[in-house]
Structure 1
Amino acid sequence: MPSPRPVSLTARALGVALLLSGVPAVTATAATSGPAAAPTVTAAEVMPHLQALQQIADRNGGNRAHGTRGYAESVAYVKQALDRAGFRTQLHRFWHDGKVGDNLIADWPGGDPNHVLLVGAHLDSVPMGPGINDNGSGSAAVLTTALQVAKAKSKPERHLRFAWWGAEELGMVGSADYVKNLPPTGRKAIDLYLNLDQAGSRNVQQYLVVKDPKNGGSAAFQAFENWFGARGLATFDIPLDSSDNQPFGDAGIPSSGFSSGVSDCLHSACDNLANVDPATQEISTNALIGVVWQFAAKTPATTTPVTSRS
């Protein structure tokens, strides 16, 4: 998450030794078509990814920041898990502040290439700490969601694409570079972008859901509201410029997503594994999985609006 802007806290809130034991190799084989209920995961399926990111930071100066070996190893860890699961992965390289960075893009085979559901999170930390909640937690949730797509041998109507952004802590550099370099047809093909930032905050009071009425992201916003509300979890809506959604919103791409809130350890050395609540991480990951499954269909299933506000 980039450094806070001068706005209110609520508005802003938001070789490599690869530890892939427990990540099954899944191939993109055929599966029966048609809608299926979204799977659910436990914290035990998500937390190993955060443990891996913590260990990467530990052996690389305590951080995973842009242009460092810690960031390069973080990308390699996620990429190998996706490659083993049957995704088509690419590194989109860019330069910023005299250092090389990478966005990792992973496409699941199949689905309509003219109707893309893109799900992303920033993978980099700040130099001051390992960035396990900000934003290893969001990155781990997106990775777990992608691996559930592979495990289910999903055949979605929309094409599913997952992304992990670099240099976002320096001002949403990676995501902006990706959007800037999309050809007009590629930009038009993205029906919806979903972002997850800080998915495992401790002492959550409410989930901060990105609202994008201008570009047509209201249906996704409502889907997240419904998911949390149906479980009695309070929400609060925040604007597009609160996180990595901004470059997509500026390009007219419908967008939503959420955060579990700002941690006391934001951008600090204490943003380590102990700064993540496994229960919150589990909730956030399942919320993302649920909404991804819903919008993988070109016409998402409707749900009765259920919201809970504080």
Structure 2
Amino acid sequence: MLRRSTLATALCTALAAALLSGATGAQATSTPTRVAAPDIDVSAVKGHLSSLQSIADRNGGNRAHGQPGYRASVEYVKGKLDAAGFTTSLQEFNYNGSTGYNLIADWPAGGSDQVVMAGAHLDSVRRGAGINDNGSGSAGILEVALAVAKADLKPTKHLRFAWWGAEEYGMVGSTHYVNALGSGELSKIDSYLNFDMIGSPNPGYFVYDDDPEVERVFKDWYAAKGIATERETEGDGRSDHAPFKDRGVPVGGLFSGAETTKSPQQAAKWGGTPGAPFDPCYHSACDTTRNVDDTALDNNSDAIAHALWELSS
């Protein structure tokens, strides 16, 4: 039997421990759990590519700025987003005597003062349907956006998606968007992620190295999958991240290679054909749905989802 003083001490100690345990439990309950990104169904991404191919086939073989195939591509993407609950808007601009369009889609959740933005150019060159360049990036972020809606994601930060016009003329649409933003709105963009060619048929895995935090999110994901990456240098300044970077916005993104050739060292770690272009149909009529590597498209679409879930939480 414990002496009375010892018993009182024990009871006080037990009560204090119980109170501490309750407080700790309440604190743990109130701390939100980070939700992992879903696996993106590559067949759904390919379904969007097939739709973009059909649009090109019905409209002179391309989806270029100023051509009916581009406006039809915008309407296709916009229809999917509207049905999923996004707030969409078309931003018009003029270039080379034709009206161009940027499509902006905001997910109605998350804070308003910090924005994580993903973008891809939706236009092709006049010579072809532009399925890898850049139907692949456009379809990838579209399916990720639809996954956001399906998950009814409640991010801490605001999520915004963009499909740019007239990139093939020198980032015209994205430059127009950035220039039209006031400094206050521009400062709210925490990061802009760009996806231009993510399904090249002889693919590499290139990660933009412009911002260490964003780069780490992508590189860690690929490393966990056992996929080697390289810093993206070929497309630096050639795509829609450039106007954001020039205005001080942290940028990042993915790229699977264009017209330059894959080295033997790159083929050893990624497979594919050394001495051949990453995309032999770059800016050509053969850039069709047959010009896409399913594995690269799948991996890169999943990486986009991971990065957006991670950076917006």
TM-score (norm 1): 0.82
Q: Aligned partners of 1:176, 1:50: CA distance in 2, in Å?
A: 26
Q: Aligned partners of 1:284, 1:208: CA distance in 2, in Å?
A: 10
For residue 112 of structure 2, give the secondary structure of its aligned residue in structure 1: strand
Q: Aligned partners of 2:46, 2:133: CA distance in 1, in Å?
A: 14
Q: Aligned partners of 1:282, 1:110: CA distance in 2, in Å?
A: 27
AA aligned opposite 1:295: L
Q: Aligned partners of 1:284, 1:238: CA distance in 2, in Å?
A: 14
Once the two structures are superposed, what CA deviation does each residue of 1:142-190 show, in whole Å capped at 9, x if it has no partner?
0011000000000000000000000000000010000000011110000
Q: CA deviation at 1:249?
A: 0.3
AA aligned opposite 1:253: V
Q: Aligned partners of 2:33, 2:166: CA distance in 1, in Å?
A: 38
Q: Aligned partners of 1:159, 1:42: CA distance in 2, in Å?
A: 24
2:207 counterpart residue number: 209
| Greater relative contact order, per chain length (Cα 8 Å cut-off, separation 6+) | 1
For residue 81 of structure 1, give the secondary structure of its aligned residue in structure 2: helix
For residue 237 of structure 2, give the secondary structure of its aligned residue in structure 1: helix
1:274 counterpart residue number: 290
1:27 counterpart residue number: none
For residue 145 of structure 2, give the secondary structure of its aligned residue in structure 1: helix
Q: CA deviation at 1:241?
A: 1.4
Q: CA deviation at 1:69?
A: 0.4
For residue 267 of structure 1, give the secondary structure of its aligned residue in structure 2: coil
Specify every segment of 5 or more residues in structure 2 that has no aligned partner in the other structure, as ranges.
1-31, 259-278
Q: Aligned partners of 1:195, 1:66: CA distance in 2, in Å?
A: 19
Q: Is the helix fraction higher in 1 or 2?
A: 2
2:217 counterpart residue number: 223
AA aligned opposite 1:218: P
Moved more, 179-188 or 274-283: 274-283
Q: CA deviation at 1:209?
A: 1.1
Specify every segment of 5 or more residues in structure 1 that has no aligned partner in the other structure, as ranges.
1-32, 298-310
AA aligned opposite 2:226: G
2:175 counterpart residue number: 176
Candidates 241, 264, 288, aligned match of 2:304: 288
Q: CA deviation at 1:280?
A: 1.5
TM-score (norm 2): 0.81
AA aligned opposite 2:217: A
1:256 counterpart residue number: 252
> Is the contact made by 2:40 and 2:144 (CA closer than 8 Å) also made in structure 1?
no
> Is the contact made by 2:232 and 2:255 (CA closer than 8 Å) also made in structure 1?
no
Deviating above 3 A after TM superposition, structure 1's stretches of 4 or more consecutive aligned residues are none
CA RMSD of aligned residues (A): 1.0
Count matched residues.
Answer: 260
Q: Aligned partners of 2:219, 2:293: CA distance in 1, in Å?
A: 21
Q: Aligned partners of 1:151, 1:230: CA distance in 2, in Å?
A: 26
1:29 counterpart residue number: none
Q: Aligned partners of 2:41, 2:172: CA distance in 1, in Å?
A: 32
1:303 counterpart residue number: none
AA aligned opposite 2:206: L
For residue 284 of structure 2, give the secondary structure of its aligned residue in structure 1: coil
Query: What are the within-5 Å matches in structure 2 for residues 239-250 of structure 1?
Result: 239=233, 240-250=236-246
Identity %: 50
Look at both structures and tell me which one has the larger radius of gyration over its CA atoms: 2
1:111 counterpart residue number: 110
1:73 counterpart residue number: 72
Q: Aligned partners of 1:62, 1:242: CA distance in 2, in Å?
A: 24
Q: CA deviation at 1:34?
A: 4.5
Once the two structures are superposed, what CA deviation does each residue of 1:226-269 show, in whole Å capped at 9, x if it has no partner?
11122222211125414221000001000000111111100000
